[in-house]
Structure 1
Amino acid sequence: MALMQMGEGMWNRMARLHETVLTGRPVHDDRGEELYDYYVRHPQERGWHAAAMADLTDDAGTALAEQYDFAPYQEIVDIGGSMGLLLSKILPAAAHANGTVVDRPQIVEQARANAGAYGLGDRLSFTGGDFFASDLPRGDLYLLKTVLCDWGDENASRILANAFRCTPPGGRLAVIDWVRPAGPEPSELDIMSISLEVVTGGRIRTEAEFVTLIESVGYRFDSAVTVASRERSRPWYVLQATRP
C-alpha cells in the first residue's frame, strides 16, 4: 500500500489536488493520461497497485467466505476481478458454485497462468473483456467489489447498466464496497474519497447514492448487509439487488 501511494503516478496526482478542487475532475499527468493508462506504461507501479488491491481483496474475500451465504448460487461472476483472488476465497465456501472473473485481456492472460495455485481446477475461469460494454458470462450472482468507487456517477452507471443487460431475470447483483455515513459529520472515509476523486474521478458513496445508481439502470434494490473486516475497523458493505 505504501509503495502504491508513494509511486510517481499516484503521488504526482495527489500533489495537484487543488486542480480537482477547482475543476471537479480527476488529475491527468503531463501526457494527459489517466492513472490506469499511466500504469500500462509503468508495469512496476502497476504491480504495486495490484499488490495493494490484493491486500484489500484478501481481507474482503476471507470475511465474505465466513459471513455471507453463497449457498443459493451456482454461477458467480466477478466483474473486474483481476487475478481471481476474491473468488479463490469465496468458492471453497460455495461448494456447488463455479466462478468466472471478467477483466482486461492482458490481466486475464496473467491470471490464467497463476490460477493453478488456488487449487480450484475448472471451477474458476477467466474471460477477457470490457466491463463497460462486453457481454458478460451468464451467472446467477454478479459481484462488483470496489469497482464503482473508482468511477464517477456517469461511468459507474455504464458499468451497472452493462451488468444489468447481461443479468438474467431473477439474477442478483452484490456491490461490495465501503459506504460513507449519510450525515454531515466528518468520516475516516473522507480522505479516501478525496484521493479517489483526484486519481480516478471516483468517490466513496452513501447507501442512498448507491441505491440511486443501482435502481436507475433497472435493478430492484433489496438490502444492504455489513460484513466485519478481519483487519480493519470499518466493515465491508454488501448492497444486494435483483433483476426483476
Structure 2
Amino acid sequence: MKPRILIINPNSSEEMTGAIHRNAAAFAGEDMEVVTVPTPGTSPFIATYEDHAMAAPGMVRLLRENEAGFDAFIIACHGDPNIDLMKEITVKPVVGIAEASMKMATMLGHSFSVIAPVERTVPNKKALVDKYGLSRDMASVRPAIIEQGADEAERLIAAGRRAVEEDMAEVLVLGCAGFAGLDKRMEKELGVPVLDGVICALIIASGLVKYGVSISKKRRYDNTFGKR
C-alpha cells in the first residue's frame, strides 16, 4: 500500500495550505497519498516563538485526531514549530521541513545557504541550524530583500545569487513553505541544487514508512515517562 501522509500547515492560512498541497500532490503522484490541513486557532503566518506556542494546541489536536488514519506526518513550516512535541506524542514518523531540507542539503554539496523570507527570521534560522548540528555546513542565511518592482521569484533568485557568489554556497534551501514551486526555476537560473522543504520531507517521510522505521521512544521522545 502507498504511504498516507498528513501535511500539517502550522498556520491558519487557507491560501498557503492550498499552495503547499498543490506542490506536494504534484510530487507525490501515484506513489503516495497526501492530505494538507491548516492549523485552527493560530496565526495566518508563523514568524515568532509566540506564534509557535499559539499553534501547539491545534497541531497536537490535528495529530491525535488523525493518527490512526495516516502513516506519517509533516510539519510544513520552515521553523519546525513544536517538532519535538509532535515527535513525542506519536509512534509514527514526524518530519519537519527545515530539518529534512537542511540535512539533505549536506548530502548534495560542501555548504548550503538558507533563503529566509524576511530579515527578522535570519537569527531564528541560524538557531535552528545550531540545534540540528549543521553550523559547520552552513554558508549563510540570506533574507529575500524586498525590492521595488521585483516579484517573489526575482527576490529569491537575487538572494540565492548572493549566497552562491559571495558566501560560497553550493546548495540552496528555501526557508519557507510558502515558496512552493520556485525551486526548479531557481535551479535553472543559478546552476545549483535548490531544495523545497515540503518535497524533502515527503521523500524522507515516505521512505521511513516504506522501510518500517519510526522515532525512537527509548529516552528523549518517551512520552510514558512518569506515567507508568
Same fold (TM over 0.5): no
State the TM-score, normalizing by the size of structure 2: 0.39
Looking at both structures, which has the greater relative contact order when contacts are Cα pairs under 8 Å and sequence separation is at least 6? 2
TM-score normalised by L of structure 1: 0.37
